[in-house]
Chains A and B, each alone.
Chain A
Amino acid sequence: MSKVRIMTGNSAAAAAVMLCDVQVVAAYPITPQSQLAEMMSQYIESGELKAEYVRVEGEHTALTVCISASTVGARVFTATSANGLLYMHEQLHWAAGARLPIVMCCVNRGVGAPWTIFNDQQDSLSQRDTGWIQLYCRNNQEIHDTLLQAYRIAESVYVPVMVCYDGFVLSHTMMPVELAEQEAVREYLPPYKPHTILTPDDPRCLNPVLFPNRRADSEGVLRDGYMEMRYKLEAALEDALEAITEASDAFAKRFGRDHGGLVWDYRTEDAELYLVAMGSLASEATLAADALRARGIRAGVTGIRAFRPFPKEAVRKSLSKAKAAVVFEKSISYGNEGALCTEIKGALFGTEIRPAIYNYIAGLGGRDVKSRELEAAAAECWTDLEAGRREKKTTWLNCITG
């Protein structure tokens, strides 16, 4: 019998990590991730989880510990938020470059200055180019299930995975979560096989300085240069599109829950107006779509689950019949627009799919976002489209501007 518990997003995450038989956890507490770090240390201290919790003085070291442990063959976990993630930045690149299948939770929080402890997605979005896979969750069930999938994805393509979920909005809100069963998880997630075994019996120098061009090693074998290594990381991210889909499909088959692999659709069968979002904002958008349909506007939602690798083909398929797409996001690429909006435009450029694309920045620093606000914004865009206004300046939702 499956167990349903009423639990917070942080508890749902901790329960999943425990089921994945992780061997090393290193995390430094930061709001709103703190409960997750605390629960992992309790599980380990009580012996419920046979793993080592390495106490560290900060996030840079937390990830360094995970890198080292993963290198010698351990399945590892860490979690952080906001400035903690930014402090890891250098090691984020290292983990991806070293091709280590580390899984981390980013409990999304706005970054300082000025300080905020509240939710937006500026933290993980600003780590876009570190080579990590980024998956965004829309409720606590999805957090639990995505973590189980994350290890399968990471260990199949040897790329680290960041499982992102909204701080407080999900991390501290309780809702029903069906916990996976241990035996089923072990079947779904085979033991981690490191790509390189580093032991005292077989000493190696990993990730040394590489020269611009390919070079023969001491045995005369021509080895990759830096650029070939970087190409292989990019190729792995491209392969991850398939790995994410496979992990999601296999999960649905084994556990009966399907959150969509790369992208999910809501009421898009005959939709003309699309609301596009990631995380809890996308869940809120489904209510806005319902309300728009009640007003006679055929609205649907494209929910983005994978932001890296960016699922261009899946986005094209989802938006293939769109007349307008309104992209709502909880971060901004300063000096331009929301990063998701740029990606959506990029995915459609040069194709026959040419909806008008509108962009809204919403919910920064925990500002509450109501479905009726999304509904009103999308309805306004629909009016704009009908009046021939296909381009608009990025709008800051529910914010004093100008």
Chain B
Amino acid sequence: MYEIIWHGRGGQGVVIAAQMLAEAAYMGGFKGVTSAPTFGPERRGAPVTASTRIAEEPIRTFSQLEKADITVVLDDTLFQVADIWGRSKPGGMVIINTAKPPDQFPHPEGIRTALVDGASIALKNHLIREGAPVVNTPMLGAFAKATGLVSLENLEKALGDKLSPEAVRRNFATVTEAYQETTVVTG
């Protein structure tokens, strides 16, 4: 079973991203998928998390996720307020939306990182909501590249379940571009 934690800020769409990942994984043949928000009230701009579980067999646990195999960070300022490394399992992968170079993310040994400038990709594709770049969908593309657990084709279908054809086209453009631009940091 793969356990995934999404770190973002209220309004960035971590809950939707966690859902779409679960849907794409299910379409890709994983029989067990769950996605959940962090239970309780949420506020715009405040640090929030959501989670996705992906497994070969139906999932029987609905307890809250403690540590992640894969972590997706939608906002690199969250490293200052959330214990992102501490909630990553040894051997885990942390995928970060950032314009900064890899050396700005010194990580514990055994945890790998993958970086992509999802915000710039969203801006370039005019994917803007309420004045801010939409970063949740590009990070789905980054997830696909960094982990290989979901295909671009299934991510496009998952977008189609939630969005209009025009919105799918624009979001999927950022998904594919982020897929291409994501670099997995070695060492």
Contacts and interface: CB of A to CB of B under 8 A. Distances in A.
Interface of B: 19, 22-23, 26, 31-37, 39-41, 58-64
Interface in A151-188: 166, 168-170, 172-176
A368 B39 CA distance: 11
B33 A284 contact: no
A370 B63 contact: yes
B138 to A, nearest CB: 21
Contacts of B59: 175
Q: Which 6 A-B pairs have the closest CB atoms?
A: A168-B39, A173-B36, A174-B35, A175-B34, A368-B64, A283-B60
A280 interface: yes
30 contacts: A4-B26, A6-B33, A117-B40, A166-B62, A168-B36, A168-B39, A168-B40, A169-B39, A170-B62, A172-B36, A172-B37, A172-B39, A173-B34, A174-B22, A174-B35, A174-B36, A175-B22, A175-B34, A176-B26, A176-B32, A176-B33, A176-B58, A283-B60, A283-B61, A283-B62, A287-B60, A368-B63, A369-B63, A370-B63, A371-B63
A117 B40 CA distance: 8
Interface string A284-299: 1011000000000000
Contacts of A139: 60, 62
Contacts of B31: 176
A370 B39 CA distance: 16
A287 B61 contact: yes
Contacts of A287: 60-61
A73 interface: no
Could you say which of B22, B23, B33, B63 has the most chain A C-beta atoms within 10 Å of its C-beta? Answer: B63
Nearest to B25: A6
A174 B61 contact: no
Contacts of B62: 139, 166, 169-170, 173, 280, 283-284
B28 to A, nearest CB: 12
B39 A118 contact: yes
Contacts, number: 60
A174 B39 contact: no
Contacts of A225: none
Contact of B33 (A117, A175, A283): A175
A366 interface: yes
Contacts of B60: 139, 283-284, 286-287
A175 B40 CA distance: 19
Nearest to B59: A175
A5 to B, nearest CB: 9
B157 to A, nearest CB: 12
Contacts of B39: 118, 168-169, 172, 366
A174 B26 contact: no
Contacts of B23: 6
A370 B63 CA distance: 6
Given A117-B40, A118-B40, A173 B35 contact: yes
B109 to A, nearest CB: 26
A118 B41 CA distance: 11
Contacts of A366: 39
